[in-house]
Amino acid sequence: MAKEPMRVLVTGAAGQIGYALVPMIARGVMLGADQPVILHMLDIPPAAEALNGVKMELVDAAFPLLKGVVATTDVVEACTGVNVAVMVGGFPRKEGMERKDVMSKNVSIYKGQASALEAHAAPNCKVLVVANPANTNALILKEFAPSIPERNVTCLTRLDHNRALGQISERLNVQVSDVKNVIIWGNHSSSQYPDVNHATVKTSSGDKPVRELVADDEWLNGEFITTVQQRGAAIIKARKFSSALSAASSACDHIRDWVLGTPEGTFVSMGVYSDGSYGVPAGLIYSFPVTCSGGEWKIVQGLPIDEFSRKKMDATAQELSEEKALAYSCLE
């Protein structure tokens, strides 16, 4: 029997990531090739005409799984009945704007949209925040939507995770699908800590540690980390726009694994509400290694943490605590 359609909200749908993301969702990349979807697309009034153009293209593409499209500038209409919410909309940093100005604009958007989601989304709606500052926007959304379970509010660090897999695959000249269990700890910012201490590569004689195969700790503890940390800036420099297709694809990976489960023996990185695991202060949205099953994520426990990692994990937690304080000062 055909499945009931799931309603998927994409905010900022007239933007660059939105334009890459909505066809992926309509093709089944996010929720599976047998899962019909109804797309809810939200943007702001100045982008309404462009948003309507995206809707026209979705109709023209005749996606078999796409059972309906809502394109609106009304946040309540956009949020009504949605099962998955991908929050991409936000205010970009403009010339002359201070970090605090960008933070101020975005956290007030996320405070407002939290209330609309809380009041109108389907029960158990899963939320993924993509827009920057992603961890702190997600935290504000969680705190201003108290009836949405905290485990349902996450942010995107899967792009950083995939970037780390890509760097290892290029360095070792192996298939990216044979590399697994890298970890992104912390913030989706240049303070994040990409960690390969538990990562492996599938070889003809079984899974081998990345550290053993790369055999160059100087590279793994230096250039590898900074390349992943600064990849977003490198893409902006090259394209003059921030990453879009890789962000959209990673958002699909994040939701697909959350809803349909991670493969046995594989963990992925998700920004989730900290419960104090690994000594990370509770009350931050922090990227951890997780496994998913039955629609729930679980932080991978018991991984040994060396002194080098500890310092980097603490530094990115410290940055998130400062962002949280700044966000609250903006909302006062």
Residue numbers annotated as active site:
188
Work out the angle at residue 67's Cα, subtended by the Cα atoms of residues 36 and 33, and round it to the nearest 5 degrees: 25
Spell out the long-range contacts of 62-65 with Cβ–Cβ below 8 A and sequence spacing 24 or more: 63/23, 63/26, 63/27, 65/26, 65/27, 65/28, 65/33, 65/35, 65/36, 65/37
What is the rounded distance in angstroms from the CA atom of residue 142 to the CA atom of residue 175?
A: 37
Which part of the chain contacts ligand NAD (CB under 6 A), choosing from 14-22, 33-41, 292-300, 309-317?
A: 14-22
Select the residue interacting with ligand NAD from 6, 109, 127, 320 (CB under 6 A): 109
Amino acid identity, position 28: G
Q: Which residue's CB is nearer to ligand NAD, number 109 or number 201?
A: 109
Using alpha carbons only, give the angle 217, 218, 223 rounded to the nearest 5 degrees.
Answer: 115
Least distance from ligand LMR to the Cβ atom of residue 271, Å: 12
- The answer to whether residues 31 and 86 touch, using CB atoms and an 8 Å cutoff, is no
Residue 330 corresponds to which amino acid?
A: C
With CB under 6 A as the contact rule, the residue among 35, 243, 249, 316 that binds ligand LMR is 243
The CA-to-CA distance between both ends of the chain, in Å, stands at 51
Q: Is 188 in the site for ligand NAD (CB under 6 A)?
A: yes
Q: Which CB atom, from 127 or from 201, has the smaller least distance to ligand NAD? A: 127
Interface region with ligand NAD, contact rule CB under 6 A, candidates 41-49, 120-128, 175-183, 276-284: 41-49
Which residue's CB comes closest to ligand LMR? 232
Binding interface with ligand NAD (CB under 6 A): 11-12, 14-18, 42-44, 47, 88-92, 109, 130-132, 134, 156, 159, 188, 242-244, 247
Binding interface with ligand LMR (CB under 6 A): 132, 159, 232, 235, 242-243
